[in-house]
Amino acid sequence: MGNGAGGIWTATKFAPPAGSANPQDVFAVRRVAAVKSVPFQRFCLRRRHANSPECAPAGLRTMCVFADGACINNGSTTVAPQAGCGFVFNRAQGGTVGFPLEKEGPDGLGHAHTSNRAELRAVIGALEFRSWWGERWERIVIVTDSTYVAGGATEWIRIWAGRKWVKSSGSKVQNQDLWELLSAKIGGYAEGGCEISFWSVPRKYNQEADGAATAAAAREGLQSYQKQTGILV
């Protein structure tokens, strides 16, 4: 991961084994060692891939989380868009989380709902839900069908920050509040000994998170930003 240069942390790109485009082929649902005598399920990197050179750095205890966002009336100028976020970390009850996008960001300001903002917020929600390194994970792979999120988290965010959040076109970078928060979350995970990676996949491989986000978009959201938190399931 990026080392926090300039106060900005970046994630790494996850490279799946050759010929393995489907996350289900790379990550298996299985029970893992209990924490405080409570067994749980996670999407775990299959053992045969654990030391694969493509999945470098090899040997890290790795799980994945599927994340997505959805927005009703995205881009409309006549009807207020309404967005939702979703992430999936296991197949058990409680392992799929969906929540409406808040009207305000973590900066306390109001922000228009868009698909991009919902997708970014879903990732932050997944990372805030638990301190995953407390389960002894050394790498969390975020599976997303958003090139905006994956590209921003692994490359563009440092460039944007270096330009004082202005793009090469001269326009302002959208969702700066969420990008800065995501950077801080990635840095917090690094301090906890856990790497954050992103795997950009076709939408057909992210249907469950998309469904959770779409359902959440139909619900009324909170006014203020609220951290998503959960218990061991």
Q: Give the CATH number for residue 48.
A: 3.30.420.10
* Alpha-carbon distance values, 211 to 32, 75, 130, 207 (Å): 26, 20, 22, 6
| CA 85/CA 233 separation, integer angstroms | 20
User: Alpha helix (H) ranges present in the chain?
Assistant: 23-26, 115-129, 147-151, 157-162, 176-191, 207-217
Q: Are strands 38-45 and 96-100 parallel, antiparallel or unpaired?
A: unpaired
The boundaries of the domain holding residue 121 are 5-217
| CA 221/CA 71 separation, integer angstroms | 12
Q: What is the pLDDT of residue 4?
A: 61
What's the domain count of the chain? 1
233, part of any domain: no
Q: What is the pLDDT of residues 165-197, one digit of tens each?
A: 998 899 999 999 999 999 999 999 999 999 999
51, part of any domain: yes
Q: What is the pLDDT of residues 26-55, one digit of tens each?
A: 999 998 877 667 788 999 999 888 888 888
Any idea which of 3-12, 82-91, 183-192 has the lowest mean pLDDT?
Answer: 3-12
- Retrieve residue 104's tokens: 């305000």
| Residues ≥6 apart with Cβ < 8 Å to 25 | none
Give me the mean pLDDT over the 8-33 stretch: 92
